[in-house]
Every structure is written in C-alpha cells, then in structure tokens.
Amino acid sequence: MSSTVYDSQLFRNMFATEKMRAVFSDKALIERYIETEVALAKAEASCGVIPATAAAEIADKARYEALDLAEMQHQTEIVGYPILPLVEQLSTLCGQAGRYVHWGATTQDIMDTAVVLQIRAALNIVEADIHQIREVLTRLAKEHRDTPMAGRTHLQHALPITFGYKCAVWLSMFDRHAERLSQLRPRVEVGQFAGAAGTLASLGNDGFSVQTAMMKELGLGVPQATWHVARDGFAEVLNFLGLVTGSLGKVALDIMMMMTSELGEAYEPFVKGRGASSTMPQKRNPISCEIIYAAAKGVRQHAGLMLDAMVQDFERSTGPWQAEWVAIPEAFMLSSAALEQAVYMLGGLEVKPDNMRKNLNMTRGLIVAEAVMMGLAPQLGRQTAHDVVYDACRVANTENISLLDALLANETVTSKLTLAELQALTEPANYTGLAPLMVDRTLLASAKVKN
C-alpha cells in the first residue's frame, strides 16, 4: 500500500515522474550499491590488491536478482544501514571470491558513491527538462517580442511591456540555471572511497591508486579529500534544485494570475476535463501551475534540510546523514514533477494578445502617465511636469475620463504639446521602451549558453 504522494496511485505522477522514480527506486539504489562494490573490486585487482580472478567472480556473481530482499530489509532494520546485509549476501553468492567483497571499504563509501551515481542520472533528467523549457521560452519570446501588455508592480499597472519581454526574463533565469548545472556537476559527481575514518589506512600505500582506479571505473571524479562529513556537494545540488523550482514557481504564479477571469491573458493548454470543478462547469483551474507552485515549496524545505544536515560531528555523523536519505530523493521527485509540468504547460500555453491589449487600455491611458511626464519635462522641468500629470490623473479618475481628455482640458499641457503629440504619448504600445531590444539581447545571449 502506498502512503505518500510519491508512490500514491492517485498522485504519483503529479508529484514525481516515472523517470525520476526509477532513478531513486529501491532496485536502482541497490544496483548502484552493487555497481560500486564491483568497481571497487575491479580497481583493487588492477592495483594488485586482490586477485584478478576474485574481481571477475565478484563482477559475474554480484546481481540484484540473486539477493534475498526480505532478509536484506530485516537485517537493515537491525543494523541501521543496508551495506553490511548486502555484503554478507554478496560474499555468499561469490563463493571463495566473496572474501574480497568490500575490501578496505566502509559503509558510507558505498552508500555515498551510490547516491552520487543516482544524482548523476537525476541531473541528466533535470538538464534535459531545463533545455526543453529554454527552447519553449525562446520560441515564446520571439513570437511575442512586440506583443504589448501591462507591466505590473505591487499588483498595479506600472508601465507597458511586451509578453516577449516577460518570457525573456523567464528565459534568462533558466539560462543561468543551465550554467549553474554545468558548473556544479564536476564538484558534485565525485565518488567516495576512504575507509573507516576516511584515511584509507586499511590499504596502506595502495589507497590512492585504488581510489583513482575505482573512480575511473565509475566515471566519477576523484575526491580531493574524504567528504564523509563534508556535505557541501549534496547541499549545493539540493539548493540548485531550490533555485530551479523557485524560478518555476515564479513563472507559475505569473501564469496563474494571468489566467484569472479578470485578466484572461494566458491559459494552460486545454484538455477536456483538466482543471474542472465538481460543481462549477465554467471553471478552468491552473492545475499545472498549482502543482509547480506546491512542488517548489516542498523542494525549498528539503534544501533547508540538506543545509541543516551539513552540520555533522567529527569524522562520522550521528543523525544528519540519515536526513539526507529523506531530502535528496524527495527533492528530485518534486523537481522532476515541477519541470515536467512546466514543459507541458509552457509548450501549449495559450496566449491572448487581444486580452492583453484590452487590459493595457483598461485605465484609459493612465499606464503611460510617465510617458506624458517625460514629454512635458523638457518644457516644464521634471518635478513640475510630474505634478501637472499627477493632477491630470486625478481628474481622469474622478471624472471617469481618459488621460488624454484630462490632459486636453489642461491649458498648461496644451500650451506645450500638440494633440498629435499627446495622442502619441498616451498610446501604451508606444511606450514599451527597450523591451523588444532586451528580448533580442536575451535571445542572443541564450544561444551562447551551453545546453
């Protein structure tokens, strides 16, 4: 029976993806333990520490399918860790070669390296999703480079922008995430093999050679120093996921608000029944955005937990390490869900330029009060121009007229600017500033970011 959203028959694909669930499944984890043990044996054979025949036998006989998982679970609950029970079974399976299984290693060496292998696979999925999101946002930014809409600050109309500009802002975040990911991977994808207290004492002078050979087998970096209690790499990964899902949450919040009945500027892809209400047939709720928003909050909590787990005692922790077993898989599950929902939602986003234009005009020119002020400033001075336009805005609001009409009723204004000039200044589409050029600049920079 399932008991969490990650494995629930109802919610499993809303808060995780099958790809990411496969990376962090029990089977995958145990297989990574075995992969690590086999790599260790091969490395030690190559360095002359154990017989080559023993390493070959271990590689041949160490198989997930041969394990008694029920017994392994039982023993794990007794020991507190799964490696001793695993090693006992592998030693039996490998016959005479079994005496060389786990030679010179400690439990945390195997578990940490296995988690790094999982993280490497998980980051491949994250990387592919970020690439897709960047592709979609690139398309949207290009298509809507010049699509005017209301820019909003403090939930109020501020100045006109373009929807392409908004998408370019989103794209810039994911360009930086792509760069962060490529930069952090060499720091994080580093294996662990150091022995009981991290000094490789059990292998004498062969320690470094075995360590290097083992990491070559696994395609991982060689640690500068033992990181049994130096968990900044894992903390960096989870806080990276926090940044990614935080950006996804920002995009989701914008689109949720743009989907409101009052705005109607953009909508998630239409699928019959999606976002429907049990009682209100007219509803079209922002389901993908809501899942992204919730997932981002969950990842943020796990990022904080991982930061807390960095504070460890001496050369082997008493508790923080186990906290990672919760934080890392769940953070990746939630991140994968948020990313997949974003790929789907942005890929089929329904953009409504007509509604954007309608909302842009809803204040009848007030959104470009700054443009009028700047048009008057050369003749009146900035502060005087501000006061004149401020008064005109109050008149427009009080008398329920357009800003243009309020300005035309003001002799100070009409003595300085013609009707044509005022009409141009009060047209919102004329005051998007450098937004389209910022789109161009962002697209150019994004194309140079390594995928």
**Residue 190 DSSP one-character state:** B
pLDDT along the chain (451 residues), means of 10: 80 88 95 97 96 96 94 93 94 95 94 97 97 97 96 93 97 97 96 93 94 97 94 96 97 95 91 62 79 95 93 85 92 96 95 96 92 92 93 92 93 92 93 95 93 67
The first and second tokens of residue 213, run together, are 């050979």
Domain ranges of the chain: 366-425
Quick one: pLDDT at residue 242?
97
Quick one: pLDDT at residue 12?
82
Catalytic residue (choose from 157, 261, 277, 386): 277
Catalytic residue (choose from 3, 154, 261, 278): 154
Long-range contacts (CB closer than 8 Å, 24 or more residues apart) made by 290-293? 290/252, 290/256, 291/14, 291/15, 291/337, 291/338, 291/341, 292/245, 292/248, 292/249, 292/251, 292/252, 292/338, 292/341, 292/342, 292/345, 293/249, 293/252, 293/253, 293/256
- CATH class entry, domain 366-425: mainly alpha
Quick one: pLDDT at residue 357?
96
DSSP string, 18-50: HHHHHHTSHHHHHHHHHHHHHHHHHHHHHTTSS
Quick one: pLDDT at residue 167?
97
Q: What 3-state class would DSSP assign to 225?
A: coil
pTM: predicted TM-score of the whole model, two decimal places: 0.92
102 counts as catalytic: no
261 counts as catalytic: no
Q: Is-contact 210 36, C-beta < 8 A?
A: no
Quick one: pLDDT at residue 273?
62
Quick one: pLDDT at residue 283?
59
